[in-house]
Amino acid sequence: MPLNMFSKVEDIKGVGPKTREIMEKSGIVTVRDLLYYLPRTYENFTNVTTLSEIRPGKVVIRGKISELRIIKTKRRNFTITEGVIHDKTDAIRVIWFNQPYRVKQFDKDKDYYFTGTYDYKGGRYQLTSPRAELASEVDKAIENGFKPIYSVKGSFKSENFKRIFETLRPEFAFIPDLLPVSKSSPDFVKPGARADALFKAHFAEDEKEVKEARKYLAYEELFELILAANLNKKENQKLRASVIPFDAEKIRQVVEKLPFDLTNAQRRAAFEIFKDLEKNVPMNRLLQGDVGSGKTAVAALAAFAAANAGYQVAFLAPTAILASQHADSLNNLLAPLGVSVALLTGATKNKPALKARIKSGAVDLVVGTHALITDDTEFKKLALCIIDEQHRFGVNQRQKLLAKTVTSATASVISRVAKTADLENPDFASIKKPLAPHLLMMTATPIPRSLQLAIFGDLDVSTLNELPKGRQPVVTKIINEINFTDDLYPKVREYLASGQQVYWICRTIEDSSRSETISVKKQAEKLKNIFKDRTVTFLHGRMKTEEKDKIMSDFSSGKIDILVSTTVVEVGVNVPNANLMVIMDADGYGLAQLHQLRGRVGRGKNSAICYLVSPDDAEPARRLKVLEKSNDGFYLAEADLKLRGPGEIYGSLQHGAMSLQFASLTNSKLISAASNEAKKSAEEFAKHPEELQNYPELAFSIKKYQQLTTLN
């Protein structure tokens, strides 16, 4: 009898309430969740290296450990545990960071397996932060020397997972197939392939079996994603949208009024958007471009096209500062051409009057924050939605904005009739199917090509891969705090003396006993004492909107020399005169976020520099070194994907709802092969969506992915 994949984990023998609670913290609720909780790595204890033959790289060694001691560092709450591992051939140094318990963990007379990276650091070769396991226990537990290692939390150990899977071992043969098998399916997709892959993943005897398991599971995952995208696209094509004609002469007038020449990439993207707007099927397009590539100018042309045709446009921005900035620039550009532009944020005064004007159709283009998606914000003729930094908005928020095309009267009738379930009700005949708005989303976090293939099959993508003429790349340097006096402060004085301004980014607003990072307020006071003849002000997200807007306005107009801020300035803020940035505790940010922050400088024609401050006693994080070498957002997006996974690339994904745990998106060869194979089968299957009813578990997965990847 097939295994019930949706049974609760507590139904498994040996899983009690406490274990269930721990598992839930790792997202494991059902048997299916458990089976797909794959080992994060495997340790091969047959490849033990003697210390006399050890070479730099990943190693497994067996030996005794002694001379353990704890070294305190200058950095608060940071310790190093040091010791010596020795076997019959030689001895090496080993260290662990912030793991003082290691001193009492070992018996100097017993053998242990140590698995980690042997490398040259701190002026000598050493084994850094290895896993350690008692050799006698490993030898007893593993027959073939190949051991799965699971990610664990708290007191729950990897061995606990191994024990539970041993209990389930006989049940693996009854795991039902998930995917349909057709002529277009690759050879490895056949009856029993799923059960075989999951068994090999948890009970692998060697690397070859791990690769075989991951190959199938990567294909399965990509099939689900691509099928979801195909079904979304089919649904989207059933919708209807307002046709917005392309008025070449009027668009030319707007382009001539721009204070700069459009790049070829901007012209190409604008043309792709204009072609979409002329269709009666809603546009579903992502405009991606590196920081400073001119996405807003392209969006302005699209907004003008819609307003010129008599329709309304909603422009959603993630912060009030950015919304205000967009509203000002769009008003300056489009108001002389007869387009009415309004700003709607939480701080907007006399909101009822403005919302009445929007509802009447008197406002052509509304720029705003979340205030745009409140229930009482209604449009008369909304035809285009533009969402800036779309990954900052969840699926529900986007869909709420898109639903603004349904008038309150229509919604009322639909609701009333639906409640009676009276399909013969004549009121239905009076309901016109609402038109869906065209959707243009913008992001300065470029989406890696691999993610586009897998997740965004239902999405058209326009890419801005050129920077405006005259824009110079930002010089990036990693710096240590002990070098501030000699290297940083003189450079700050140099920039200030030439009339330029400075961003100084901090992670926290106020000091905390639990935090080692310097706060915005403390840093501002410190800089006021160092640069006494300069105006230093701080900014953070908890300030009232009016206060934040006033500070940004003063900074933009040059009244503030040094702005000490949290990441509230991360997105979109445009101050061409600010060309030096210092990012404190840079190790604590992701690569994409650091690139976004760096993008606030170098927006004019002057050279710009960004300093990434690394803690005193630590080696700079790998992502800082990557950022130091490159200004290419597309290259950095791929690097960030490999370092951190797909979490921050797209809205709901950042909450862990999509865990692509088969390395498929970080292995370009694997995803290229798997996605091409999955694409053929998924597209074939999508032609007959009714077939999904024969695959209930697949339908469940597809629905989840459809909700995550849909843009409409």
Q: What pLDDT is recorded for position 458? A: 59
Token pair in block for residue 95: 């260290």
Q: What pLDDT is recorded for position 641? A: 65
Q: Is 662 helix (H, G, I), strand (E, B) or coil?
A: coil
**φ/ψ of residue 448, rounded to 5:** -55, 145
Is residue 685 in a domain? no
Q: Which helix (H) or strand (E) is 64 found in, with range?
A: strand 57-72
Over 396-410, what HEC string results?
A: HHHHHHHHHHCCHHH
Q: What pLDDT is recorded for position 244? A: 96
- In whole angstroms, what is the distance from residue 597 CA to residue 592 CA? 9
509 and 398 assigned to the same domain: no
Is residue 427 in a domain? yes
Provide the greatest CA pair distance for the chain.
91
261 and 397 assigned to the same domain: yes
Q: What pLDDT is recorded for position 269? A: 96
Instruction: Supply the range of the domain harboring residue 254.
Output: 248-278+294-443
Q: What is the pTM of this model?
A: 0.69
486 and 432 assigned to the same domain: no
Q: What pLDDT is recorded for position 617? A: 55
Is residue 579 in a domain? yes
Contacts of 126 (CB under 8 A, 6+ apart): 92, 93, 94, 95, 118, 119
502 and 389 assigned to the same domain: no
417 and 506 assigned to the same domain: no
Q: Which helix (H) or strand (E) is 116 found in, with range?
A: strand 112-121
Query: Nearest-CA neighbor of 450 among 693, 639, 690, 239?
Result: 639
Q: What pLDDT is recorded for position 513? A: 43
Report how far apart the first and last C-alpha atoms of the chain are (Å, whole number). Answer: 40
Contacts of 550 (CB under 8 A, 6+ apart): none
Q: pLDDT tens, 656-703?
A: 334 455 544 545 555 555 566 667 777 777 777 777 878 888 888 777
**Long-range contacts made by residues 515-520, C-beta under 8 angstroms, separation at least 24?**
516/75, 516/76, 516/77, 516/78, 516/585, 516/615, 517/584, 517/585, 517/588, 518/584, 518/585, 520/564, 520/565, 520/566
Q: What pLDDT is recorded for position 239? A: 83
Is residue 230 in a domain? no
401 and 488 assigned to the same domain: no
435 and 482 assigned to the same domain: no
Is residue 537 in a domain? yes
Is residue 551 in a domain? yes
Count of domains observed in the chain: 3
Q: Is 149 helix (H, G, I), strand (E, B) or coil?
A: strand
Last residue of a domain, one of 580, 605, 630: 630
Residue holding tokens 């009076």?
Answer: 430
411 and 480 assigned to the same domain: no
Last residue of a domain, one of 106, 141, 176: 141
Q: What pLDDT is recorded for position 397? A: 61
Q: Which amino acid is at 509?
A: I
Looking at the chain, how many residues does it have?
712
422 and 483 assigned to the same domain: no
- C-beta of residue 330 within 8 angstroms of C-beta of residue 340: no
Is residue 111 in a domain? yes
- In whole angstroms, what is the distance from residue 377 CA to residue 595 CA? 35
CATH no. for residue 573? 3.40.50.300
Q: What pLDDT is recorded for position 398? A: 58
623 and 489 assigned to the same domain: yes
Last residue of a domain, one of 589, 606, 630: 630
Residue-wise DSSP of 366-425: EEESGGGGSTT---SSEEEEEEETGGGS-HHHHHHHHGGGS-HHHHHHHHHHHHHT-TT-
CATH no. for residue 128? 2.40.50.140
Tell me how crowded residue 568 is: count the other CB atoms within 10 A of its CB.
21
Q: pLDDT tens, 74-104?
A: 666 678 999 999 999 999 999 998 898 999 9
Strand 365-368 and strand 341-344: pairing?
Answer: parallel
Q: What pLDDT is recorded for position 642? A: 65
Over 265-328, what HEC string results?
A: HHHHHHHHHHHHHCCCCCCEEEEEECCCCCHHHHHHHHHHHHHHCCCEEEEECCCHHHHHHHHH
Residue-wise DSSP of 556-573: HTT--SEEEE-GGGSSS-
428 and 341 assigned to the same domain: yes
- In whole angstroms, what is the distance from residue 295 CA to residue 288 CA? 8
Q: What pLDDT is recorded for position 467? A: 78
Q: Which segments in the chain show pLDDT lower than 50? A: 407-424, 426-431, 453, 513-515, 647-659, 663-664, 666, 711-712
437 and 508 assigned to the same domain: no
Is residue 483 in a domain? yes
Q: What pLDDT is recorded for position 707? A: 61
Q: What pLDDT is recorded for position 391? A: 53
Q: Is 95 helix (H, G, I), strand (E, B) or coil?
A: strand
